[in-house]
A and B are shown apart, each in its own frame.
Chain A
Amino acid sequence: EPEVTQTPSHQVTQMGQEVILRCVPISNHLYFYWYRQILGQKVEFLVSFYNNEISEKSEIFDDQFSVERPDGSNFTLKIRSTKLEDSAMYFCASSVGELHEQYFGPGTRLTVT
C-alpha cells in the first residue's frame, strides 16, 4: 500500500542553524501539506502546496520557513534559522484533492538545542 515517507526520523540542530526536512508523498497525489505537533499539543497546519506553489499558509509559517518540490517525488520544508520553539514533530501529508483525506507520514522529530 502506498505511503508517505519522511527523512530523517530525528534531527537535532543548534539554534540558528538551517534544517531541511524531506518527504516523499504518495505518487498520484496532487496536494501536499506540512503540519507540526509540539509535544502534548494539537496537530497544527503550517502550509499547503499545489501546482508548484503555496496555496495557503498559517501564521506560524513566517519568513523563516519555505517549501519546495525540487523534483517529481520530493517535497521539502526548510527552516532557515531554527529557534528553540521550533522543536516539534513535523508531519508531511498528501491527498488526491483538497477535500479528500490526507495521508500522513511518520514524522520528523526536530530538536533544537
Chain B
Amino acid sequence: EDQVTQSPEALRLQEGESSSLNCSYTVSGLRGLFWYRQDPGKGPEFLFTLYSAGEEKEKERLKATLTKKESFLHITAPKPEDSATYLCAGNAGGTSYGKLTFGQGTILTVHP
C-alpha cells in the first residue's frame, strides 16, 4: 500500500530560524512528488513538483529536494506569513491516473 509520512507533525520556529520538513514515501513506481501549502479552512495550494532523485526546486524562502526515499522542504529565514500546514503527496502514475497519496502534514508556526 502506498504511504507518505511527514515529520515532524508540528514545528515552531522563530522568525529567521531556518529548518527542514521531511517527507518519506513508499509509493511504488513514484512518478511525481508534490508539495502543497494549506491554510486553515482552505484548499491545498501547489508549491513544487519533483520527478526524479537529485532534483531541486526553489521559490522565495522555500527549497524542495528529492531522494529515492524521501523529500525535504527547506525553509530559509522564515517569516510569520510562512505559518501554514505543509503537505507532501506522491503520485504513483501508471494505472493510478493521477491519484495523489497525501501525508498528514507538518504544521509550521513562525513566531515574530
Q: Which of A's residues lie within 8 Å of B, judged by CB? A: 4, 31, 33, 35, 41-45, 48, 50, 55-56, 58, 89, 91, 95, 98-107, 109
Contact = CB atoms under 8 A, between A and B. Distances in A.
Contact of B98 (A58, A99, A104, A105): A99
A98 B93 contact: yes
Chain B interface: which size bin?
20 to 34
A67 to B, nearest CB: 13
Given A100-B49, A107-B42, A50 B97 contact: yes
B42 A99 contact: no
By secondary structure, the A interface counts as strand
B98 A43 contact: no
A106 B43 contact: yes
B90 to A, nearest CB: 11
B28 to A, nearest CB: 15
A48 B102 contact: no
Contact of B93 (A35, A44, A99): A99
A58 B101 CA distance: 11
Contacts of B44: 43, 91, 104
Q: Which of B34, B46, B101 has the most CB of A within 10 A?
A: B46
Contacts of A31: 97-98
Given A43-B44, A43-B100, 19 more contacts: A31-B97, A33-B98, A33-B99, A42-B103, A45-B99, A45-B101, A48-B98, A50-B97, A55-B98, A58-B99, A89-B41, A99-B51, A99-B91, A100-B49, A102-B100, A104-B45, A106-B43, A107-B41, A107-B43
